[in-house]
Structure 1
Amino acid sequence: MTIGPKEGWQVYSSAQDADGRCICTVVAPEQNLCSRDAKGRQLRQLLEKVQNMTQSIEVLNLRTQRDFQYVMKMENQMKGLRTKFRQIEDDRKTVMARNFQELKEKMDELQPLIPVLEQYKTDAQLISSFKEEIRNLSVVLAAIQEEMGAYDYDELYQRVLRLDNRLRNCMGKLTCGKLMKITGPVTIKTSGMRFGAWMTDPQASQRNNRVWYMDSYTNNKIVHEYKTMDDFVANTVSRTYNLPFKWEGTGHVVYNGSLYYNKYQSNIIVKYSFETGRVLAQRALEYTGFHNTYPYSWGGYSDIDVMTDELGMWLVYATNQNAGNIVIAQMDPDTLEVQKTWNTEYSKRNAGESFMICGTLYITNSHQTGAKVYYSYSTKTSSYEYTDIPFHNQYFHISMLDYNARERALYAWNNGHQVLYNVTLFHVIKTEDDS
C-alpha cells in the first residue's frame, strides 16, 4: 500500500512488487508551497531588486558616458579658447611691436636729412650774402650813373658782371668738398640676390629720375629700367635691356644716358647706349687684373670698378706692376681712353669697397659689419691720408657702393637690400682775391 504523505507533501512516485505491495514511495513538497514560503518571497524580492539595480546601473552608465563625452567636448573647446586667447595676446604684442618699429624706422629715415638740410642752409646763407652784395652794388650803380657819365657806368656794369660770374662759380664749387660724415642708410627696397647694382644717372636733368637695376655679379645681361624711384619701389618696370655681353662684378655706372660696365671674363670696358641699344665703344685696360685676380675683399669678380663724381669718370683696379695695389685712372667717357693714372699703396684685396668724391678716392676697410672709410687718396695732390669715418652696415654685407654727385648720396647694395646713404662734405670756397 502507498503510504500517505504528511501535510504539505504529495506523492511524487511509488514502486510496487508483483503482489501489489508498496516497496517505495517518493514524496515532494506541494507545487505551491515555495510560493507561499517567506524565504521564497524574500528571494524573489531580492531578485527583483537586483534586476532593478542592474537596469539603473545600465541607465547610469549610459548617462555617465554621455556626460563624459560632453565634458571631453567642453575641455577641447576650453583648450581651443585658451589657444585663441593666447594667440590674440601674442598678435596684439606683435602688432604693437611692429607699429613701434615702423615709427622708429620712419624716424631713422628722417634723421639723415638733418645734416643735409643744415648744409644746404649754410650754403643758402652764403649765396644770399652774394646776392645782397649785388643788390647793394646795383643801387650804388644807379646813383653813380646819375652823377657820372655813361663811360663810368659801363665800367661799373662790367664789375657787376664779374661779381655775378664769381657768384656762379662759387655756386658750382659748393657741390665739391671733403667727405666728413656718412649718415643712414635709408632702405629703398629689398629685392634680388645677395649681390648686385642699382643706380641713377648723375648727368640727367632734375626731371629725369630713371633707375637702373642689375641683379647678380655675373652670368647675366638683363638690365631693368624704372621711370621713377616710386616705380622702382613698386617694381613697375618700364623697359628691359638685353645687353650684347654679360657683365662681371658690380662696378657699373650710368652716365649721360649710357651704361659703362666690365665685360665678362675680360679687362674690357663697354659703353652701351640705352637710347640706341648699341655698343658705342669698347676698350681693354692694359695690365689690369680681372676675373677675381684683384677683387675687393668680398670677391664677386669685382676687379674693375667704374665710378663718376663731380669731375667726371674714373676707373679703380689693380695691376701686377703696382703689386696688386689700387690704381686710379681718369677716363674719357666718350672714347674710354685713360687720360691719367695714380698708383696708391692700398691693397685692392684688402678694400671692402671704394667711391670717388671731388677727385678723391675713399676706401672702406671691410664689406662687413664694423666697416668704416679708412683711407683716402687725393688725385689733386697725389697724396693719401688715413681716415676714420664710420657708416652703418645694416645688413652686414655690402657688395656695391657708388657716389652720385647729383643726389650727393651713396648708392649701396647690401645683402639683397637697395639702400641710400647721405654724405656731408666740408666746403672750402676760394675767390679770385685769395692767394
Structure 2
Amino acid sequence: MNNVPCKFIVTIRPKEGWQVYSSAQDADGRCICTVVAPEQNLCSRDAKSRQLRQLLEKIQNMSQSIEVLNLRTQRDFQYVMKMESQMKGLRSKFRQIESNRRTLLTKNFQELKGKMNELQPLIPVLEQYKTDATLISQFKEEIRNLSLVLTAIQEEIGAYDYEELQQRVLGLEGRLRNCMNKLTCGKLMKITGPITVKTSGTRFGAWMTDPQASPKNNKVWYMDSYTNNKIVREYKSVSDFVSGVESRTYNLPFHWAGTNHMVYNGSLYYNKYQSNIIVRYSFESGRVMTQRALESAGFHNVYPYTWGGFSDIDLMADELGLWAIYATNQNAGNIVISQLDPLTIQVLNSWNTEYSKRNAGESFMICGTLYITNSHLTGAKVYYSYSTKTSTYEYMDIPIHNQYFHMSMLDYNARDRALYGWNNGHQVLFNVTLFHIIQTDDES
C-alpha cells in the first residue's frame, strides 16, 4: 500500500550490512532514522583490510625466505673467507718459493703453480659473495621497515585486533539500542498529514491496530458508528483493510458508546452503552474478560467532546500503558486522566486538569502527556497539554489538518508513531514529530 505513514524497516541480513529504522519526520519533512550496526564484524570483510593482510602475509613470507637465504649466504661467505685466507697464505708461500726456486725441483714447482692457477678464479667469486651479502643485508632491512609500516597502517585502519574491534562494535550497538529506547518518548512538536487510507462507513467510527502486537502482526479492527452497533470487523493487514478482505467478525455482547475504543495486547476496551462501565473483550477467547465502572465518570452525552456522539469516555494507550480520559462532577466537568491496569481495569492513578471536557475536540496520550485539540472541525489545533509526570499543563499551538472537516476519532499508536483518525467517513493517518532530550551517564 502506498498510503502509509513515514515508518519503514529496511533490513539487510546481519552478516551483510546495517539495519535502518525510521518512524517519524523532522521539521523539514525528512524521515528520522536510526542505524543499528550488525553483530558481525564488517571490517574483517573489508576489501582493503583483506588486501593489506594478504600483503603483510607475503612480506612475512618474503622475510622468512630472506632469512633462510641470508643464513646460507653467511655460511658460504665464511667458507669463501676461509678460502681467501688460504689463498693469501698460498700466494705468500708461492712468492717465497718462486724467489728461491733453485732449491726446489722443477716438477714440484710446476704442481704448486698449477694449484695456484686453479684457485685464481675464486677471487672474483669471493668479491661477488661480499657484494651479495651486502645486498641481502640491505634487502632484509628494507623488508623489516616495510613490515613495520604495513603493521602501523593495519593498526591505524582498525584491522589488526578483530576481537577488540568486534567488542567495540557490540558496545556501540548496545549504546545505540539504549539511545533508541530513550527516543521512544518525547514532546509533540508537529503533526503532518493526513494520509487517507480508506473511505468507508458512516461519518463516525473508529479503526485501530494493536500497539502491543509484534511487528509481524498488522491486524486492523474496524468499528463503524458511535452507537447501536456490536459488530467488530477484523482484517489481517492494512492492505486487506483497504481491499475490504475481512478475516473475522466479532459480535460483542454489549453495544458500545462513542468512538473512543482501544485494542491493547489482544483485547478490545470499550465503553458499554448508557453506562460508565469499561468492558475488556478478548479476541482470542471471544468473550468478556473484565468489566468495571469508572467511578464518577459522566456518560451518555453528559461530558462528551465538542461533536457529541456519547464520547464521554475516551480509552487510549501510549508508551506507558492504558488510559481513560473523562470528566466528573467533582472536577466541575473538567478532564480527568486515569491510568488503568490492563487486566483488571482498576484505576492506578488519576490527575485532575482544568480543561473542560465539553470544549475539547479530541485528545490523545503520548509518553504520559495528554494533548487536547480545541475543535473537531476545520482549523483545529492541539491547544493544551497536561503532563502526568510533572502534574503541570501548557498551552500549545500545533495545527492539525482536518482535511474532511469533521474529526470523530483521534488516537495515538506508539508502535507506529502515528495518529489514527476517523475524518468524516475517511480513515486517515497523521505523522507526529517528537522532540527528544537524551540523558546519558556516558558522555564519551
- TM normalised by structure 1 equals 0.66
What secondary structure does 1:377 align onto? strand
1:327 maps to a residue whose letter is: V
Q: Take 1:191 and 1:122, find their aligned partners in 2: how far apart are those partners?
A: 32
Instruction: Give CA deviations for 1:171-209 in whole Å, capped at 9, x if unaligned.
Output: 112121111111111111111111110001111111111
Q: Is the 8 A contact 1:319 1:327 kept in 2?
A: yes
Q: Is the 8 A contact 2:209 2:263 kept in 1?
A: yes
Taking a change above 3 Å as real, the CA distance of residues 281 and 293 of structure 1, as seen in their structure-2 partners, is same
Structure 2 residue 396 is the aligned partner of structure 1 residue 387: yes
Which residue matches 1:326?
335
Structure 2 residue 103 is the aligned partner of structure 1 residue 195: no
Taking a change above 3 Å as real, the CA distance of residues 226 and 332 of structure 1, as seen in their structure-2 partners, is same
Which residue matches 1:230?
239
Which residue matches 1:306?
315
Q: Is the 8 A contact 1:187 1:417 kept in 2?
A: yes
2:255 maps to a residue whose letter is: K
Which residue matches 1:343?
352
Among candidates 302, 305, 323, match of residue 296 of structure 1: 305
Instruction: Give CA deviations for 1:373-392 in whole Å, capped at 9, x if unaligned.
Output: 00011111111100000011
Structure 2 residue 31 is the aligned partner of structure 1 residue 124: no
- TM normalised by structure 2 equals 0.65
2:436 maps to a residue whose letter is: H
Q: Take 2:226 and 2:267, find their aligned partners in 1: how far apart are those partners?
A: 19
Structure 2 residue 435 is the aligned partner of structure 1 residue 429: no
What secondary structure does 1:209 align onto? coil
What secondary structure does 2:34 align onto? helix
**Paired residues, number:** 314
Which residue matches 1:44?
none
Which stretches in structure 2 are left out of the alignment for 5+ residues?
Answer: 8-21, 45-154
Taking a change above 3 Å as real, the CA distance of residues 263 and 389 of structure 1, as seen in their structure-2 partners, is same
How far does residue 432 in structure 1 lie from its aligned partner after superposition?
2.6
How far does residue 236 in structure 1 lie from its aligned partner after superposition?
1.2
Among candidates 171, 178, 183, match of residue 169 of structure 1: 178
Among candidates 268, 282, 298, match of residue 277 of structure 2: 268
Q: Take 1:235 and 1:331, find their aligned partners in 2: how far apart are those partners?
A: 33
How far does residue 124 in structure 1 lie from its aligned partner after superposition?
2.2
2:306 maps to a residue whose letter is: S
Q: Take 1:365 and 1:116, find their aligned partners in 2: how far apart are those partners?
A: 24
Instruction: Give CA deviations for 1:386-414 in whole Å, capped at 9, x if unaligned.
Output: 00000110110000000001111100001
Q: Take 2:302 and 2:260, find their aligned partners in 1: how far apart are those partners?
A: 15
**Which structure 1 residue ranges, 4+ long, deviate > 2 Å from structure 2?**
109-125, 139-145, 159-169
Which residue matches 1:34?
none
Which residue matches 2:364?
355
Which residue matches 1:405?
414
Q: Is the 8 A contact 1:115 1:424 kept in 2?
A: no
Q: Is the 8 A contact 1:268 1:285 kept in 2?
A: yes
How far does residue 116 in structure 1 lie from its aligned partner after superposition?
3.2
Counting only pairs closer than 5 Å after superposition, residues 46-125 of structure 1 correspond to structure 2 as: 116=24, 122-124=32-34
What secondary structure does 2:24 align onto? helix
Question: Which one has a bigger Cα radius of gyration?
Answer: 1
Q: Take 1:218 and 1:267, find their aligned partners in 2: how far apart are those partners?
A: 14
Taking a change above 3 Å as real, the CA distance of residues 110 and 245 of structure 1, as seen in their structure-2 partners, is closer
Q: Take 1:163 and 1:111, find their aligned partners in 2: how far apart are those partners?
A: 29
Among candidates 175, 180, 188, match of residue 179 of structure 1: 188
Instruction: Give CA deviations for 1:56-100 in whole Å, capped at 9, x if unaligned.
Output: xxxxxxxxxxxxxxxxxxxxxxxxxxxxxxxxxxxxxxxxxxxxx
2:261 maps to a residue whose letter is: H
Q: Take 1:235 and 1:165, find their aligned partners in 2: how far apart are those partners?
A: 42
Q: Take 1:339 and 1:361, find their aligned partners in 2: how far apart are those partners?
A: 17
Among candidates 316, 319, 324, match of residue 315 of structure 1: 324
How far does residue 429 in structure 1 lie from its aligned partner after superposition?
1.1
Identity of aligned residues (%): 71
Q: Take 1:204 and 1:111, find their aligned partners in 2: how far apart are those partners?
A: 18
Q: Take 2:419 and 2:24, find their aligned partners in 1: how far apart are those partners?
A: 13
What secondary structure does 1:349 align onto? helix
Taking a change above 3 Å as real, the CA distance of residues 249 and 274 of structure 1, as seen in their structure-2 partners, is same
Q: Is the 8 A contact 2:210 2:263 kept in 1?
A: yes
Taking a change above 3 Å as real, the CA distance of residues 164 and 224 of structure 1, as seen in their structure-2 partners, is same
1:283 maps to a residue whose letter is: R
Counting only pairs closer than 5 Å after superposition, residues 3-22 of structure 1 correspond to structure 2 as: none
2:34 maps to a residue whose letter is: A
